[in-house]
Amino acid sequence: MSDIMEQPGQSKPVAWWHWHRRLYDWVIQWADTRFGVLALIILAITEPVCVPIPADIMVIGLCLGKPKRSLRYGLTCSFFSVLGGTIAFSLGLAIGPERVISFFEQISFGPVHLGEKAQQALELYRRYDFWAIAISALTPVPYMIFSWVGGMAEVSLLKFVGVSLVFRTMRFGGESLLFYFFGERARRLIEKYFNTASVVVIILLMILAYAMKQLEHLFAE
């Protein structure tokens, strides 16, 4: 069997072991189907509830595929992501903090009692609810976790929805705006230097993860 497999719509074949390039091509092709927006809506809704896959992947893929529709993709993702977050928030509210703490009280690791830690986490969320929602909505911090915990902490639903709308729109709208203006050029550069771009993205993600870790230690002190 040949090591090279042809990709639809590409002038050059892609080696089968280049899974990252094949994943890129798979995401991009959604822009050329009538189900692209539907796939984006489904991912945007389910991500804050139970799917740990960032909706950015689909937004960027669609924007690269059809840059002139970028703003539509970004705003659609923002709205339905907040809708999904509201669903997760409602589920967390239904579960309630008492059940969560009661569950974790049954678990301990030596002197560490998780019930106390869970209580502290909920109290911190209540105290810094605005920043918790804003940071999770804007940054790679999992929005899913903070959506559920927001309901458990019984913060204001109006505040959760309002802050989420502002910062989710900043995130996805900002991405889509960049691709609206630079989409065609960005796509040509990415496809020409794909392996180099992949390495750069990985390095940037590592730097971001390190920075977030340092911020976590800073605020924990």
What's the pLDDT at 199? 60
Given this model, what pLDDT does residue 88 score? 93
| Long-range interactions of 28-34: CB distance < 8 A, separation 24+ | 28/61, 28/64, 28/65, 29/65, 30/58, 30/61, 30/62, 30/65, 31/61, 31/62, 31/64, 31/65, 31/66, 31/69, 32/65
220 pLDDT more than 60: no
pLDDT at 196: 63
Which ranges constitute the DSSP H helices of 106-142? 114-127, 129-138
Q: Which residue, among 31, 155, 150, has the nearest Cα to 88 in the 3D structure?
A: 150
Quote the radius of gyration of the chain (alpha carbons, Å).
Answer: 20
What span, in angstroms and rounded, lies between the C-alpha atoms of 212 and 135? 11
On the question of pLDDT at 18 being above 60, the answer is no
**Mean pLDDT, the chain, integer:** 77
pLDDT tens track for 183-214: 777 666 655 654 565 566 557 656 766 665 66
Of the listed ranges 4-18, 54-68, 180-194, the least confidently predicted one is: 4-18
Per-residue confidence band for 148, with pLDDT thresholds at 50, 70 and 90 = very high
Name residue, tokens 């977030």: 212
User: What pLDDT was estimated at residue 29?
Assistant: 74
**pLDDT for position 49:** 92
pLDDT of residue 7 exceeding 50, the answer is no
pLDDT classification of 179: cutoffs 50, 70, 90: confident
Range 151-170 average pLDDT: 93
Highest mean pLDDT: which range of 86-100, 174-188, 200-214:
86-100
